Amino acid sequence: MAGTSTLAVVLDGLSTAGLSTGCQHGVPWYVAQLGGQLVAALAEVDRPLTDGLADAIERVAAAHPECDLRDPGTPSATVAILRQRYEVLDHLVLADSPIVLESADGHTVISDLRVDEVLPELRAEVERHETHTSGHREALQRLVLAQRQVRNTPEGYWVAASTPDAAQHALTGTTRMGDLRSAAVMSDGVSRLVTEYGMATWFDVFATLQTGGPRELIEAVRKVEATDPSGLRWPRYKSGDDATVAYCQW
C-alpha cells in the first residue's frame, strides 16, 4: 500500500505457487517498487491514472534489466487506485483488488473479475483439495502455469507486470465527491469477507472501518478464516490471503 493525502494505492502481488519467475528480485520487491513509482508518477493531479500506471510499470521494468522480463511468470500485481482531484474522485482498478464507494444510497463495488472467467476447470480442481495438501499444491501450480499463458492477453486478463500497455485495460472512472461519504481501497484478501465468505455485508464492513479502522476489519477476516483452516467450507488458494485496506474519509 502507498499513498498521500489525496491518493490511495493498493497493490496485491500475484502468487507464484513456488514456480520460477525469471526475476532475481521477487514479487515483494516488485510491489514495493511499483507502489513508489505510482506515487511519483501521479504527483501531477491532472495526469490520467492510466498514463501514470503505464509510466510506473515501464520505470520498474527499467530498474531490473538483468532479469528475464519476457518470462510469463515475471512478478506482477493487481492495482487499485483512488485519487481526489478537486471535487471528484478518480478510480482505476486492474484485476481483482476492489474499490468500494459508500454513499447515502448504499455501496458501489468497482472490481475487475476477468481472471475468474478463465480456466474454470483448473480453478475447480484446486478447490476440490484441502489447503496445505500436496494435491492442492500441485493443482495450484497447474492453474498458475496455465494462467501465465493468458495473462496480459486479450483472451485472458490483465495485471501490472512488465508491459505498460496493460494499464490501458484497467477499469477507470470518476465520481463526484459530494455524492459520497467514504471509500475503501482493498485487496481481495479483505473483500472476500463479503464476496466469498458471506460473513458480512458492505454496511458491516464500513461500520467496522468507521469504529475500529482497517486493523479491526482485517482481524475480523482472520477470525473467520481460522474457523475453516483447510478450506472445506470456503475452498480457496490459501488459508489466508494478503489483506490490505486503505480507508478514505473527507
Q: If you search the block for the grid coordinates 481526489, which residue do you land on?
A: 84
Per-residue pLDDT tens digits for 186-214: 999 999 999 999 999 999 999 999 999 99
Per-residue pLDDT, 11: 98
Per-residue pLDDT, 240: 85
In whole angstroms, give the CA distance from residue 182 to residue 102. 5
Per-residue pLDDT, 95: 96
Half-sphere exposure of 82 (CA within 13 A, CB side): 26
Supply the CATH classification number for the domain 2-249. Answer: 3.60.40.10
Cβ atoms of 69 and 162 within 8 Å: the answer is yes
In whole angstroms, give the CA distance from residue 186 to residue 204. 15
Per-residue pLDDT of the chain (250 residues), as tens digits, is: 899 999 999 999 999 999 999 999 999 999 999 999 999 999 999 999 999 999 999 999 999 999 999 999 999 999 999 999 999 999 999 999 999 999 999 999 999 999 999 999 999 999 999 999 999 999 999 999 999 999 999 999 999 999 999 999 999 999 999 989 999 999 999 999 999 999 999 999 999 999 999 999 999 999 999 999 999 999 988 888 899 999 999 8
Per-residue pLDDT tens digits for 66-103: 999 999 999 999 999 999 999 999 999 999 999 999 99
In whole angstroms, give the CA distance from residue 76 to residue 72. 10
Q: Where does 151-241 have alpha helices with state H?
A: 188-195, 202-226
State the burial class of residue 249 (Cβ atoms within 10 Å of its Cβ: 0-12, 13-18, 19+).
exposed
Cβ atoms of 60 and 34 within 8 Å: the answer is yes
Q: In this structure, are strands 245-249 and 182-186 parallel, antiparallel, or unpaired?
A: antiparallel
Per-residue pLDDT, 4: 93
Q: For residue 8, give the C-alpha cell.
A: 490511495
Written as one letter, the residue type at 136 is H
- Residue 122 CA, chain-centre distance (Å), reads 21
In whole angstroms, give the CA distance from residue 142 to residue 61. 27
Q: Is 135 helix (H, G, I), strand (E, B) or coil?
A: helix
State the burial class of residue 234 (Cβ atoms within 10 Å of its Cβ: 0-12, 13-18, 19+).
middle
Q: If you search the block for the grid coordinates 525469471, which residue do you land on?
A: 22
Write out the DSSP string of 46-109.
TS-HHHHHHHHHHHHHHT-TTS-TTSTT---EEEEEEEEETTEEEEEEESS--EEEEETTEEEE
Domain ranges of the chain: 2-249
Per-residue pLDDT, 179: 83
| Mean pLDDT of the residues in the chain | 96
Per-residue pLDDT, 241: 87
Q: Specify the pTM.
A: 0.95
Per-residue pLDDT, 54: 98
